[in-house]
A and B are shown apart, each in its own frame.
Chain A
């Protein structure tokens, strides 16, 4: 099967076709920015975009992605590696502590802002309710989302 990840089409060998999208991204393609946190869809660390929608890659069989382009945290930056506005906002607000959850937070935020370019706090909280952070970066995440949306952080 063929998988389109971050605009690059890769052949997925048979031995990897029964795997989750998460496992293929990390261990076959070496795109390790997407994280394993729970494996059952409740932490959000593995969030990627499949066909433009935020998805939990731990629960998504890679075989289900044959027709849909996949975008991971590594694919957010623009030409020449310019940071995506959400990534830039994350740095401006110094969001990360350990950083392990942050790829998922950022991917969920990019999907949110695509649906709702000016989310209020309730919309932010609802969109990110499934992205756990144990370090307690939530207040900064909210600020970074507002900043990325062009609002006052």
Chain B
């Protein structure tokens, strides 16, 4: 017989939630999400690009794991990619999605980088967000470089060969590049094996914690408001709740991004060239991926102006200076009080961006 000492029966879902909540503190999380708000203004669009980059990374992770199931580094590298592309069900789709999403991720990251720069979201207290972001971008480019070799077809082989000559020119480390990265005097099986280890173990091992750190900081400091917006009186500033409104918009962006990847991967699948043959003549117009094009072109141009060894040093020096400048931006312009320094940061950033675009276009035009 039921007595009044029993509590009212709970729905099963509710009791599962309560069970988990008691142990994990879910209610705190829900309360936190309910309070978190995202600023809404004319430039809010740029807030989405970090999330879009993150989505592409998730796509990379998932498709990468699937590729790992069939990919075999070393001697059979080319053959295994051939099988993935031409024999395994939907292998071509997964591989194409991986390649397209990699390119789109780099693109989204550049957009994210420069939108953060121009919205001045690197200012105190967000310096570490900026630095960790730069670190993530560099790692992503390394992901790109190492991944490009893995199919071991003609183009991968020659692009990597040319790409490795650049660090190989720096005096002092050229021997190290040979031993450590290339695994011998020539790009070959050993290189693929090394790049594979780099691509699927070492880089993710560094990348994931850094990503966690970056996201933690974003979470801690919230979205930065651009200076123009911050000057407005509080009553005029609008915010929307993170949950569900901003998340719903984020979701919409992700859906669009996912569709873009799928449509590109299905309509323009990534083909596979001929098997790499070190003895074959290098194909004409060999060039790196588009996101290395500006550096490549910079070295070429400076090399023409300053011939010989000095040119290489000068080119690398310029590239290094631009990178250092980007990294130093939060130190140059830490605070909204510094009008002149804010200008240096903004104009310097614009110069870097325009320089990269011009060099990239120039690089393609000069092929």
Q: Do A and B come from one complex?
A: no
Residues of chain A whose beta carbon lies under 8 Å from any beta carbon of chain B: none
**Chain B interface residues toward A at CB < 8 A:** none
